[in-house]
Amino acid sequence: MTRILHACLVISIVTNAWANDQQAKPPKGIAIAKQGTPDLDGKIDDHWKACPKYAVTQPIAESLKIEQKDMATATVQLLWDDKHLYALWIVKDSPLSAESSDDWAQDSVELFLDQHQDKSVTYESDDAQYRVNFQGKISGQGTGYDEADIKAAAIKTKQGYIVEMAIRTHAADMKPGTTMGLELQVNDDHGSGQRDAIAKWLHTEDDSWQDTSKFGTVQLK
Ligand code: BGC
């Protein structure tokens, strides 16, 4: 009898864990941003604790100059408030380099945002690309890009670096249920002084900087 009870308990724990996991993991290509305003200091404060993590590990074949196992990757978590989308990047990358004169070839992370989610094949006024390198240097492009819209903090870690980004939104209606187009990218200079690898959240080509149609979705919760 005790054994049966024990077995039932184990099954119920496993089933509950699965159910919780199903809740925690929306389908591929959909990222959940929870509501909250973190301190922008590169430290992982409590706001981030309950946020799901998204892996930026998809290599871009045409840009892969090193072995895939050596490529920089990241996990990303998302938060939002009435004026911002926030992203916390925990990046695995070694060695770190900002040698290239091209910002996109330095060790850096990029967030691509389509605030109206109209999936246009060229960038419109609601679309922008935001980039932060491992030293916290900000850059970006796109019709909707304004350097005043992004603030960031970066710190080095044993495994690589952490970037915390705040992007001030200007076109999206920041409220629960709103969706925007989103892609995430890590650029890796593995020691050549140029870009040796790109890792992405979703798409398999290096075209997110000019085409928003293949972005995934961020949903405000
Ligand atoms: C791309 C580069 C591109 C740059 C332009 C990056 O995201 O990976 O190939 O030249 O954006 O901003």
128-140 tens-digit pLDDT: 999 999 999 999 9
Question: Is the beta carbon of 207 within 6 A of some atom in ligand 1?
Answer: no
pLDDT score, position 10: 44
Taking only the tens place, the pLDDT of each residue in 165-182 is: 999 999 999 999 999 999
CA dist 129 and 165 (Å) reads: 12
- Whether 44 maps to a domain, the answer reads yes
127 CB burial (10 A radius; 0-12, 13-18, 19+):
buried
- Whether 56 maps to a domain, the answer reads yes
Look at strands 30-35 and 216-220 and give their pairing.
parallel
Nearest CA-CA partner of 177 in 35, 50, 39: 35
pLDDT score, position 27: 84
Residue 25's pLDDT band, with cuts at 50, 70 and 90, is low
- Whether 9 maps to a domain, the answer reads no
The answer to whether the beta carbons of residues 167 and 85 sit under 8 Å apart is yes
- Whether 61 maps to a domain, the answer reads yes
Question: Is the beta carbon of 126 within 6 A of some atom in ligand 1?
Answer: no
CA dist 113 and 43 (Å) reads: 24
- Whether 171 maps to a domain, the answer reads yes
- Whether 42 maps to a domain, the answer reads yes
Q: Which of 206, 208, 211, 212 to mutate to test the pocket of ligand 1 (most atoms within 8 A of CB)?
A: 206
Question: Is the beta carbon of 161 within 6 A of some atom in ligand 1?
Answer: no
Q: Which of 209, 214, 215 to mutate to test the pocket of ligand 1 (most atoms within 8 A of CB)?
A: 209
Nearest CA-CA partner of 106 in 38, 164, 186: 186
Taking only the tens place, the pLDDT of each residue in 94-115 is: 999 999 999 999 999 999 999 9
- Whether 22 maps to a domain, the answer reads no
- Whether 174 maps to a domain, the answer reads yes
Number of domains in the chain: 1
Question: Is the beta carbon of 123 within 6 A of some atom in ligand 1?
Answer: no
Question: Is the beta carbon of 141 within 6 A of some atom in ligand 1?
Answer: yes
Element (H, E) at 73: strand 73-80
Question: 204: domain range?
Answer: 27-220
CATH number at residue 48: 2.60.40.1190
Residue 111 Cα to ligand 1 middle (Å): 11
The answer on pLDDT for 24 being more than 60 is: no
